[in-house]
Amino acid sequence: MAGPAPREPVAQASSLHLTAGGGKQAGSLRYIETGSATFVMKLVAGFAFLLAALPALAWEAKPLREIAVHPERRAQAQVVSLNESRLAAEISARIVELPLEPGQRIARGALLAKLDCNDYDLAAERARAALRASEAKASLAALQHERARKLAAENFVSREALDVRAAEQTASRAEVAVAAAGLKTAEANRGKCAVRAPFPAIVLERLAQVGEMAAPGTPLLTLLDTSRIEVRAEVQQADAAGLQRTGRAEFVGLSGRWPVKLKRLSPAVAKNTRLMEARLRFTGTAATPGGSGQIIWNSPEHHVPPQFVARRNGGLGVFLVEGNTPRFHALSEAQEGRPALAEGLNANSRIVVKGLGELR
């Protein structure tokens, strides 16, 4: 079956009718549509301008404790020993043994040098014999005094004779004391035939040779004490107070990092370098004496990150919010592009972190 007749001609006629009979009306509609579009565009542009302007007028603030940084500080440092000693002979004798070489680590009491002790052995024997002789004399004097005392009680010996015996006994006791001291001296000299390390150390230098004659004061070896090691650092005056407040740092050398603690900070300023000397001790294992490096610590004071520092009226500072109003707070030590010391601020001070551009 055939479908309904097509309606396109009717639609076309209607369209043609509107075009022919309503020309003025169509023109008016187009004018209204054009004006409306222009108004809408201007309205949208106005809102866009307002929206673009709003963020520039807005700001945001945060407490200093949330944004503060603690910059790293550094100072040149060196590991030093408190004792670098030249060990010397204390007696006159020939050197018969020097068992150590430079670079060796030794314990406390290690044998450094051995001297010929034959003469001192004989001196000790003589002193021992002299002590025995004086002790024998003292015993005889004691017996004679006791005998004289008994005889004097029976009037067979005068009082003067008794006093003589008493004096002899006192003198003999003194001779025993002198002989005993002589023996101690001889034994002490014998002990000096072996030179021993007074502390754990590293042998730095050998100053004598086997076969040479040593006299009192003749240097034999140079030792570096490994039990008393410190770090000596040269600190800028501006950083000295911060190091003293924090009290702790790290020594960083070629072979690692070691925690250290401040012992003292010299109040004197070096004439040539204008630096202050700090002494620090290792809190654990110490680094090798003589090593160079740096000490590193973080400043204990709050610093404002550089992105929140603004320049106004030729100076650098931050905008500090008091109440609901931001005002410019100058930081006299601030430098472009570096964290600025938060002088005059506390941890709760509110600092503007957004919208700095339009604030004056």
Whether pLDDT at 12 is above 80:
no
Same domain for 284 and 234? yes
Q: What is Dmax (Cα atoms) for the chain?
A: 186
Q: Of the residues 176, 207, 227, which one is the last residue of a structural domain?
A: 227
Same domain for 108 and 204? yes
Question: What stretch of H or E contains 214?
Answer: strand 213-214
pTM of the model: 0.63
In a domain, 287, yes or no: yes
For residue 98, what is the domain's CATH number? 2.40.50.100
In a domain, 11, yes or no: no
Whether pLDDT at 128 is above 50:
yes
Same domain for 211 and 338? no
Question: 236 φ, ψ to 5°?
Answer: -65, 145
Contacts of 161 (CB under 8 A, 6+ apart): 148, 152
In a domain, 274, yes or no: yes
- Predicted local distance difference test score (pLDDT) of residue 255: 87
Name the packing angle between helices 118-153 and 159-191 (round to 10°): 160
Q: Of the residues 298, 318, 343, which one is the last residue of a structural domain?
A: 298
Neighbours of 283 (CB within 10 A): 11
Torsion angle in degrees (nearest 10) through CA of 83, 89, 90, 92? -170
Same domain for 233 and 221? no
Q: How confident is the model at residue 53 (pLDDT cuts 50, 70, 90)?
A: very low
In a domain, 137, yes or no: yes
Q: How far apart are CA 340 and CA 108, in angstroms?
A: 51
Closest of 192, 204, 185 to residue 88, by C-alpha: 192
Q: β-pairing, 201-206 with 105-106?
A: antiparallel
Same domain for 215 and 328? no
Same domain for 271 and 281? yes
Q: Of the residues 281, 298, 315, which one is the last residue of a structural domain?
A: 298
Average pLDDT, the chain: 85
Mean predicted confidence (pLDDT) in 15-37: 42
| Long-range pairs for 65-70: beta carbons < 8 A, 24 or more residues apart | 65/302, 65/347, 65/348, 67/304, 67/305, 67/308, 67/351, 67/353, 68/302, 68/303, 68/304, 68/342, 68/347, 69/303, 69/304, 69/305, 69/339, 70/298, 70/299, 70/300, 70/301, 70/302, 70/303
Assigned token pair, 9: 């001609």
Percent of the chain with pLDDT over 70: 84
CB 150 within 8 A of CB 195: no
Same domain for 222 and 93? yes
In a domain, 261, yes or no: yes
More confident residue, 39 or 84: 84
Assigned token pair, 307: 């992105």
Tallying the residues shown for the chain, one arrives at 360
In a domain, 44, yes or no: no
Mean predicted confidence (pLDDT) in 3-20: 37
- Alpha carbon distances (Å) from 14 to 4, 6, 33, 332: 20, 15, 23, 84
Range of the domain at 292: 73-82+228-298
Closest of 250, 261, 263, 241 to residue 294, by C-alpha: 250
Closest of 334, 302, 300 to residue 318, by C-alpha: 334
In a domain, 19, yes or no: no
Same domain for 216 and 253? no
For residue 77, what is the domain's CATH number? 2.40.30.170
Number of domains in the chain: 4
- Predicted local distance difference test score (pLDDT) of residue 161: 86
Same domain for 186 and 200? no
In a domain, 331, yes or no: yes
Same domain for 282 and 246? yes
Same domain for 293 and 352? no
For residue 135, what is the domain's CATH number? 1.10.287
- Predicted local distance difference test score (pLDDT) of residue 155: 84
Q: How far apart are CA 344 and CA 353, in angstroms?
A: 18
List, for residues 224-270, the tens digit of each pLDDT value: 999 999 999 999 998 999 999 999 999 999 989 999 999 999 999 99
Same domain for 63 and 94? no
Distance of CA 75 to the CA centre of its chain: 10
Q: How confident is the model at residue 58 (pLDDT cuts 50, 70, 90)?
A: confident
Is residue 152 exposed (0-12), middle (13-18) or buried (19+ Cβ within 10 Å)? middle
- Predicted local distance difference test score (pLDDT) of residue 2: 42
Three-class SS of residue 157? coil
